[in-house]
Chains A and B, each alone.
Chain A
Amino acid sequence: MMVRIPTPLRSYTSEQSVVDADGSTIDEVLMDLDRHFPGIRFRVVDEQGRLRKHMKVFVNQDSTRHLDRSVEPSDEVVIMQALSGG
Chain B
Amino acid sequence: MADREGTVLTIGTRKGAWILSSDPTRDSWAATGPHFLGHIVQHAVLDPRDGRTLLLAMRTGHLGPTVFRSVDLGASWQEATAPPAFAAGEALERSLNSVFWLTPGHADEPGVWYAGGSPQGLFRSEDAGDTWTPVSGWNDHPMWETWSEWPEENTPDGSMLHSVIVDPRDSAHLYLALSAGGVFESVDAGTDWKPLNAGCEGFLPEPDAEYGHDPHCVRLHPLAPDRLYQQNHCGIYRMERGEGRWVRIGDNMPRDVGDIGFPVELHPRDPDTAWVFPMDGTDVWPRTSPDGRPAAYVTRDAGDSWTRCDAGLPPSAWFTVKRQAMTVDDRDPVGVYFGTTSGELWASPDEGSSWKPLLQHLPEIYSVECAAPFTP
Contacts and interface: CB of A to CB of B under 8 A. Distances in A.
Interface of A: 8-9, 38-39, 42-50, 52-55, 81-85
14 contacts: A9-B63, A39-B83, A42-B64, A42-B83, A44-B63, A46-B64, A47-B86, A47-B87, A47-B88, A47-B94, A48-B88, A52-B62, A53-B62, A55-B63
Contacts of A44: 63-64
Contacts of B64: 42-46, 52
Contacts of B344: none
Contacts of B93: 48
A9 B86 CA distance: 22
Nearest to A12: B79
A84 to B, nearest CB: 6
A78 to B, nearest CB: 16
Interface residues of B, number: 20
Nearest to B85: A47
Nearest to B83: A42
Nearest to B86: A47
Contacts of B88: 47-49
A38 to B, nearest CB: 7
A30 to B, nearest CB: 12
Contacts of A39: 66, 79-81, 83
B151 to A, nearest CB: 14
Contact of B61 (A48, A50, A83): A83
B122 to A, nearest CB: 15
Nearest to A50: B95
8 closest residue pairs by CB, A with B: A54-B62, A46-B95, A47-B85, A43-B63, A85-B61, A43-B64, A39-B79, A48-B93
B172 interface: no
B79 A8 contact: no
Contacts of B85: 42, 46-47
A42 B62 contact: no
B326 to A, nearest CB: 26
Nearest to B61: A85
A18 to B, nearest CB: 19
Interface in B44-71: 60-64, 66
A53 B59 CA distance: 14
Contact of A8 (B63, B89, B90): B63
Contacts of B89: 48
Contacts of A83: 61-62
Given A48-B86, A54-B61, A84-B61, 9 more contacts: A8-B60, A39-B66, A43-B64, A44-B64, A46-B95, A46-B96, A47-B86, A52-B95, A55-B63
| Most A C-beta atoms less than 10 A away, residue of B62, B64, B66, B94 | B62
A42 B66 contact: yes
B95 A55 contact: no
A81 B64 CA distance: 12
| Most B C-beta atoms less than 10 A away, residue of A46, A50, A52, A55 | A46
A83 B38 CA distance: 11
B60 to A, nearest CB: 6
A82 B95 contact: no
A82 B62 CA distance: 7
Given A42-B66, A54-B62, A48 B95 contact: yes
